[in-house]
Amino acid sequence: MQTLLWQRAREPFKGRWSLPGGYLAQHDTLEESIRRHLAEKVDVRELSYLEQLETLSDPKRSPQEWQLATAYLGLIPSDIDPELPGDSDWHPVDDLPPLAFDHDSIVLAGRERLRAKLSYTNLGFALAPDEFTISELRDLYAAALGHDVSATNLQRVLLRREVLEATGRQRASGPTGGRPGSLFRFRTPELEITDQFAVLRPPGPARLPVA
């Protein structure tokens, strides 16, 4: 699990690593603006997910001018590795350098949001390649959640929720041998909330036929 950072060329925080971004142009949507600024760094077509996080307005967040910032969370699948310009690089999210502005808190918010949504939505499609084995998916979840994940459980849960489906194919076994894993894919490439964790549910019978 990595974060894309670039090294600031100008003051303030010159030389510090920071999240990619830039100023909002007149009559632009925030999302368009984000995509535009990101496009200068990476191939934006790879962005599998983009969601607004929060708007920061502490008057002291920038040492020079008074400015607001709206933070977004963007994700790309684990199997693509876009070209990067020299001033940008991926950093493991568990070991980030000191960041400019309040970007640490933004990263934190993003991780938290991702962690939560992995639990009750089908987000995960945004992290995974088109096809994958359960073990590969488990590793992605473990990296994002920050703790071990049981492959058995992951498979059962995501299948029951009808988030995953089997492709029928299976991956050739790795160099160390072992049984080859079946390949799965996410059913839909858009965010769907797996309700059913609304805890004070509406009255009535069950939702999902066990099939």
Partner DNA sequence: TAAGGTTTGCGACTATGGGGCGAAAACTGT
Partner DNA sequence: ACAGTTTTCGCCCCATAGTCGCAAACCTTA
Interface contacts to its own copies, rule CB under 8 A: 24, 26-31, 52, 54-55, 57-59, 66, 68, 70, 115-116, 118-120, 141, 145, 147-150, 153-154, 157, 197-200, 202-203
Residue 172's binding partner, choosing from DNA, its own copies, none, with beta-carbon cut-off 5 to 8 A by kind?
DNA
Cβ proximity to its own copies, 34 vs 42, nearer residue: 34
CB of 20 within 8 A of CB of 35?
no
Cβ at position 186, least distance to DNA in Å: 16
Cβ at position 114, least distance to DNA in Å: 17
- The site string for DNA over 131-150 (x = CB under 7 A, - otherwise) reads --xxx--------------x
Cβ proximity to its own copies, 118 vs 127, nearer residue: 118
Residue 176's binding partner, choosing from DNA, its own copies, none, with beta-carbon cut-off 5 to 8 A by kind?
DNA
- Integer-rounded Cα radius of gyration of the chain: 20
CA 128 to chain CA centroid, Å, is 10
Rounded distance between C-alpha atoms, residue 111 and residue 109, angstroms: 6
CB of 183 within 8 A of CB of 166?
yes
What number of helices (H) and strands (E) belong to the chain? 4, 7
CB of 104 within 8 A of CB of 96?
yes
Cβ proximity to DNA, 54 vs 162, nearer residue: 162
CB of 157 within 8 A of CB of 148?
no
Chosen residue from 33, 157, 162, 192 binding DNA by CB under 7 A: 157
